[in-house]
Amino acid sequence: MDNPDSRYRRLDILESVDKIKFFETQEKIEIPPSSDDKYHEVEHGEENRLDKIANRYYKNSTLWWVIAYVNNIKDPFYIKKGVVLRIPSENKLYGFKGLIH
C-alpha cells in the first residue's frame, strides 16, 4: 500500500496456491529490539521446533508463535540449523502494549 494513511499499510500481501492475492488479517504489533532480548542460534535437534526454543526461554512451549512473529517466520516447520533468532525479553510480552494481556 502506498497510502501512509491506509489502515492496510502495515499488512503483508499474501498469495494463495491458486495465485490469488489477499491481505493478511492481523495488524502487526511492533516489538522493538531491546537490550534485554536474547539471540539464539538454532542447534541440531531444534530445527522446526520453535516450541522447544520457547520452552527454553519462556518455560512455556505455547509461546513459540512469539518467536515466529518477531522473526517474521511464515512457516514454523522450516527452521534450519544455524538460523539466529531474536528472543524478545519476557517483560515485553506481558501487560501494557505487550502481546499477551
Q: Which domains does the chain have, with CATH numbers?
A: 31-92 (3.10.350)
State mean pLDDT over 21-27.
71
User: Which one has a higher pLDDT value, 23 or 83?
Assistant: 83
Instruction: Tell me the pLDDT of the chain averaged across its residues.
Output: 84
State mean pLDDT over 4-10.
71
For residues 89 and 58, give the distance between their C-alpha atoms in angstroms, rounded to a whole number. 9
Residues 64-84 have pLDDT tens digits of 999 999 998 988 889 999 999
The set of cell numbers assigned to 63 is 509461546
Cα dihedral across residues 78, 58, 85, 41: positive or negative: negative
